[in-house]
Amino acid sequence: MDDLEQRKCRDLPAGTRPLAQAQVDAFLALLPGWAHRDGTIDKVFSFGSYTETMAFVNAVAAIAERENHHPDMLVTFGTCRVSYSTHSVGGISENDFICAAKIEALCRL
């Protein structure tokens, strides 16, 4: 996973093909807790307080801005579901996994 978290997202123009299921499965094997469903990869993160949840949301937003690849996030009191897909390719791309790996690295701090 260290390799993934060191990579940078790249622009993927319309017409770029999404990853094949075998590629998605291989990347998911590197990211515990992440799942492929409904055309996205996602994971629910749990926290002890709303303040911790919002600190996580802000940290994910900073990653998204640096990578110019933005997830959908569903925030509740003590959880945040982070969902990635790449709209320009109409599915899952390597960029989704790069950002997921960066989030996992953030959680190890």
CATH number at residue 25: 3.30.1360.20
- Domain span at residue 56 reads 2-8+17-108
- Please say if the pLDDT value at position 109 is more than 80: no
pLDDT of 1: 54
Any idea how long the chain is? 109
Q: What is the pTM of this model?
A: 0.94
Domain count for the chain: 1
Copy the structure tokens of residue 92. 């899952």
pLDDT at 14: 84
Asked whether residue 83 carries a pLDDT value surpassing 90, the answer given is yes
**Residue 101 burial (10 A CB sphere; 0-12, 13-18, 19+):** buried
42-80 tens-digit pLDDT: 999 999 999 999 999 999 999 999 999 999 999 999 999
Identity at 57, one-letter amino acid code:
V
Per residue in 28-51, pLDDT (tens digit) is 999 999 999 999 999 999 999 999
